[in-house]
Chain A
């Protein structure tokens, strides 16, 4: 019934969509893992990352990669500042931090809507073209994003495994009291983690934005996907985010192509309800204390 070519296309679509989702979810799960905060504003940093990149390219005509790098740094710095101003004073009060994150989301989106307007924009991807191989078509820009996701994952892995910062992050994620007793400046780690998480969101926005479109409300869809991926894979788990992203990507691809677009949406929600009921800590997450 399903032709081999359709099946292959489903798999390819699933892989590319999956890696988008992994990229979207990375920063989100990092922030939860270290600060235990559901960062509702995650989508907005994603959006800012895309728009800063757009601005740098269109105003100063600089290279795409340079623009992404700059945008990442800018958003990271903004993230540091926000953590210090907003969340540090609320340490330990989960509900207040959550509501603050919500307030942050509303504020950033509101500000950007006034500043940038509600029109849609696009960034020309660095590599265009379609690889046509037999009856399959692989848009180059998507493959490129898959490749870059792998690169980001690799760099992140190296950071976590082999640097002092990575060690500090891991320690605080595991047990912040113990980490403090070891002499790790926990507050600074929190700030760093939040800034890093925002940077990752910005990279995601800058890379994925060109594949879709740029507008001030683009963050909401990204946040929703990040939610699903991270609940699936486990809040705070990076390998979980990878697994979750791929499952969501392949699942949606299969459902949408075989049964239609609306079922794909229900699939996502069905997944999280299923996981939260059976194994709330996610596929690869640590069980809740």
Chain B
């Protein structure tokens, strides 16, 4: 699948440093609100897709991700609007609420494998959607919740426009990304991989699959909660229809098209899929058909996602450069 890369650590740090610098300067270029809106949504979707990624890492395909997304959004909206809590508190508490939900739910369902797990998470998502529509006093019912406020961060003040929100979303994204990066490289990450490959073999080697799946499900839900809270305070209006089964499918597709087996995959998936409707403005009627065709084609020819293209490219370049050098030396 993916070959391990062997760059010296110093070079890695410089590389990442440059990328970070670029990322932080993007809003300074003077982009219109339209581009900022897209960028912010890409970051939010990337966070959510990453949350699903860690669940996928243990081999559990969850279609309930939108349900956690919903709880994060509604929770944060509720905490700030109705309870008057400050934004950061609401952010953390909604994230942990999702985590708690995941722990309870996970205990009940994570022993299921394959198709059964998928179908059950589908049912859970639908149930949460129906609850969101019907618990009108908490969720505002079908019309949802309007007037959610921009985030207020201590020492910085109100983050009241899309450019400033970009920085907030970027910080959260980087925290999530690097946390997962570390987790994936740690023994825990290897444990997740082994469970995905073969659960029986993993438990024979001494891992407790249920515990590991539960932890990853928990982390994934917490991340979804973070994304949900950011989403609520960015669009400042949420309704049940933001959290249907198709939304869960969307995050799954981001992971698959981007490359579910790499941490960059969901990010690339979010980067590609979020602005997609903008490219279809002239062919609106065909968007659905093309979307489906692309999915089919990817499954057939690029099942490891876009990331695999870059990896192949990188390896090709490396080989070419090494070959050229060797020829020179010889």
Contact = CB atoms under 8 A, between A and B. Distances in A.
Direct contact of A and B (CB under 8 A): yes
A110 B289 contact: yes
Interface in B103-146: 108-109, 112-116, 118-120, 122-124, 126-127, 130, 134
B268 interface: no
Contact of A100 (B116, B119, B249, B295): B295
Interface of A is mostly: helix
A276 B288 contact: no
A58 interface: no
Contact of B295 (A103, A109, A266, A270): A103
A106 B292 contact: yes
B296 interface: yes
Question: How many B residues are at the interface, by size bracket?
Answer: 35 or more
A98 B119 CA distance: 12
A181 interface: no
A63 interface: no
Interface string A78-110: 000000001001100111111110111111111
Contact of A276 (B116, B256, B294): B116
A265 B133 CA distance: 13
A269 interface: yes
B303 A110 contact: no
B109 A107 contact: no
Nearest to B252: A99
Contacts of A235: 115-116
B108 A277 contact: yes
A269 B303 contact: no
A179 B115 CA distance: 23
A265 B131 CA distance: 12
Contact of B130 (A89, A95, A110, A266): A266
B291 interface: yes
B115 A96 contact: no
Contact of A110 (B122, B134, B291): B291
B61 interface: yes
Given A96-B303, A103-B292, A106-B295, A269 B285 contact: no
A38 B118 contact: yes
A95 B295 CA distance: 12
Contacts of A86: 296, 300
Given A110-B286, A269-B130, A276 B299 contact: no
A276 B134 contact: no
Contact of A103 (B287, B293, B303): B293
Contacts of B115: 32, 36, 38, 94, 235
26 contacts: A38-B115, A86-B300, A89-B300, A96-B303, A97-B299, A98-B118, A100-B296, A102-B295, A103-B294, A103-B296, A104-B296, A107-B288, A107-B293, A107-B295, A110-B286, A110-B287, A110-B291, A262-B134, A266-B130, A272-B119, A276-B116, A276-B120, A277-B108, A280-B112, A280-B120, A288-B116
Interface of B: 61, 108-109, 112-116, 118-120, 122-124, 126-127, 130, 134, 249, 252-253, 256, 285-296, 299-300, 303
Interface of A: 32, 36, 38, 86, 89-90, 93-100, 102-111, 113-114, 227, 231, 235, 262, 265-266, 269-270, 272-273, 276-277, 280-281, 288
Nearest 9 CB-CB pairings of A with B: A107-B292, A106-B292, A103-B295, A110-B288, A110-B289, A103-B296, A100-B299, A276-B120, A280-B116
